[in-house]
Amino acid sequence: MWRNKRLRIAALVLLAIILIIVIWRIRASVKEVAVIRPVRREVVELVVASGYLAAVRQSDVGTQISGVIAQVYVREGDAVYAGELLALLRREDLLAQMNQARLAVATARSQFAQAARPALPSDIARARAELAQARQVNTAHLEAARQRLAQLQRGGRPEERARAQAALEQARASRRQAELDVERQRLLFSRGAIPRADLDRAETALTQARSQERQAEENLALAIKPASVEEIAQARSDVRAAQAMLNTSVQIARDNLQTLLSQPRPEDVSVARARLSEAQASLKTAEDEAAKAKIYAPFAGIVVKRNADPGGSVLPGQLLFTVADMSRTEIVVETDESNLPKLSVGQPATIIAPAYQNRPFKAALVRIGPQVNFQRGVVQLRLRPVQLPSYARPDMTVDVNIEVARIPNALALPASAVLQPEENPYVFVVEDGRARRRNVRVRALSTDWAAVEGISPDSAVILQGTEVRPGQRVSIAEEK
C-alpha cells in the first residue's frame, strides 16, 4: 500500500512538471507587441530631391572683331541692365575711318544737291554775258586778222603811204630835237650847271626817238612795197586761227549756257544719287564696325562670368562675359522614375538652399522630363520659383520638397507600421491574441505617417510589423 502511495505521489509530481513545461512553452511562444490605434490627422507626402538654380535665359557675350580691350566696366556678380556697356575695345582707327566716311557723305550730299537744283538766274545771266563777250572779242580778232591779210595782199594804199610818210617825218623831227637837247645838256653838265640825272634823261629820250624813227621807216617801207609770200601765208594762218578761236570760244560759252538752262539733268541727278547712296553705305559700314568695339549686355541680368581685362587682345567670337537673366529662373532636379505616377505639373514645392536653410522659398512644378535616363533610372524635373529670394545665384545648389499629396483628416498610421507601402501595402493587427495581416491602400506617405484605407479606426495595429508572422500568438504589451 505504501508502494502504491509512493507511485501516486511520483505521478502527481511528474504531471505537475509536465504542466509547468507546457505552460512555460505556451507562454514562451506569445510575442509581446506594441500597438497603436489609427488616428485622424493631415498627411503630406513629399518627393525629395536635390538640384540647382538655373537661369532660363543665359547668354555668352563676345566680340565680332579683333582688337585690344581698352576698358572693362563690370565685375562678376554685378547686376546689369539691358544695353549696358560692359567693355570697350580700342577704336582709334575705326573712328578715323568713320570720320572719313562722314566727310565723303557730306561731299556727295553737296554734289547731289547741286545736281538736283536748277541753275540760278545770276548764273544764267553770267553765262549769257560770257557768250556775248566771247563772240564780240573773237569776232574783233578775226576782223583784224582779215584786214591784215587784205593789206598784205594789195600793198599799201596812197593814204596809208601818206600817213606812214608823215609819221616818219615827225619821228625824224623828234630825233633831231632830241639830239639838240642832248648836246645842250652835255654842255651844261660840263659846266656844272645841271646834275648828271638831267643828262641821263636827255640821252634816254634820244634813244627812244631814234627807235621810233626806225619803226616809222619800216612802216613806210611796208606801205610802199607789197608783202612777201611768207608774210601773206602767216597772215592767212592767223585768219584761220582767229576763226577757230571764235568758233571754239563761242561753242564753249554756248554749251555752258545750255547746260545751265537744262539743269537739273536726270542723268546727272542719277549719278549724284548713286554716289551719295554709295557714300552712305560706306558710312553705315564704318559706323557698324566702330559700334562693334562696344560690348553691351544683351538683357538685364547678372554677370556670372568675366574673361576680359584691360590690355588683353581678343579675336572674333571670343567669349568675354556670360550674363544670366535672373528674372526668369528654374530649379532643375532629377528624381527616381518610380515617382512619376505621383508627379503632375502645378504641384507646389518648398525650396531650401543649404547656405540659407532658414530662408526657404516656394516654387511650382512646371515641367516633367519627356524621357527617362535608362542608365540611371531618373527623370528631370523643372520648377519655377514663385518669388526668387535676393540671395539666389545661378547654379546654386538647392534641396527640393515637392508636395505630391496632401490629405487633411486622413486615417493615419505611423509609417513604420505599414509594410511594403510602395507595392502591396499591408499591416498586422491583433485579433484574438494573434497577428493578422490586413491589406491596406496607402493614400499618402510622409516621412513619419501614412494615410491609409481598408482598416477600421479601432484596429490595434502592431507598430513593428516586421517582428511578427501572420497568425503568430501575440500579446499587447503597450498601446500608444
Q: What is the CATH number of the domain that holds 474?
A: 2.40.420.20
Q: Which residues contact 61 (CB under 8 A, 6 or more apart)?
A: 86, 295, 296, 297, 298, 319, 320, 321, 322, 323
**Among 371, 404, 437, where does a domain finish?**
404
In a domain, 383, yes or no: yes
Domain of residue 103 covers 99-117+266-289
Residue type, 371: Q
Q: Residues 41, 63: one domain?
A: no
In a domain, 329, yes or no: yes
Q: Give the pTM.
A: 0.52
Q: Residues 302, 348: one domain?
A: no
In a domain, 146, yes or no: no
**Among 355, 370, 404, where does a domain finish?**
404
Residue type, 308: A
Confidence tier at 128 by pLDDT (50, 70, 90): confident
pLDDT at 332: 96
Q: Residues 430, 455: one domain?
A: yes
pLDDT at 196: 80
pLDDT at 19: 66
CA distance 186 to 192: 10
Least confident of 198-207, 366-375, 378-387: 198-207
In a domain, 166, yes or no: no
Confidence tier at 88 by pLDDT (50, 70, 90): very high
Which element (helix H / strand E) includes 286?
A: helix 266-291
Q: Residues 331, 395: one domain?
A: yes
Whether the pLDDT of residue 28 is over 50: the answer is no
In a domain, 220, yes or no: no
Least confident of 5-9, 148-152, 282-286: 5-9
DSSP string, 21-62: HHHHHHHHTPEEEEEE--EEEEEEEEEEEEEEEEEEEEEEEE
Whether the pLDDT of residue 355 is over 60: the answer is yes
In a domain, 202, yes or no: no
In a domain, 233, yes or no: no
Q: What does each C-alpha distance from 322 to 60, 197, 294, 394 come to in angstroms? A: 4, 99, 16, 11
With a pLDDT cut of 70, the percent of the chain lying above it is 90
CATH code of the domain covering residue 377: 2.40.30.170
CA distance 268 to 119: 13
Average pLDDT, the chain: 86
Q: Residues 376, 426: one domain?
A: no
CA distance 433 to 476: 8
Q: Residues 335, 390: one domain?
A: yes
Whether the pLDDT of residue 2 is over 60: the answer is no
CA distance 357 to 126: 93
Tens digit of pLDDT for each residue in 406-419?
Answer: 999 999 999 889 99
Q: Residues 427, 469: one domain?
A: yes
Q: Residues 64, 111: one domain?
A: no
With a pLDDT cut of 90, the percent of the chain lying above it is 46
Least confident of 122-126, 220-224, 364-368, 411-415: 220-224
Confidence tier at 215 by pLDDT (50, 70, 90): confident
**Among 353, 370, 404, where does a domain finish?**
404
Q: Residues 397, 436: one domain?
A: no
User: Per the structure block, which three cell numbers stand in for 331?
Assistant: 530649379
Least confident of 112-126, 239-253, 450-464: 112-126
Domains of the chain: total:
4
Most confident among 125-129, 134-138, 218-222, 289-293 (mean pLDDT): 289-293
Tens digit of pLDDT for each residue in 275-290?
Answer: 999 999 999 999 988 8
In a domain, 196, yes or no: no
> Average pLDDT in the 387-411 region?
92
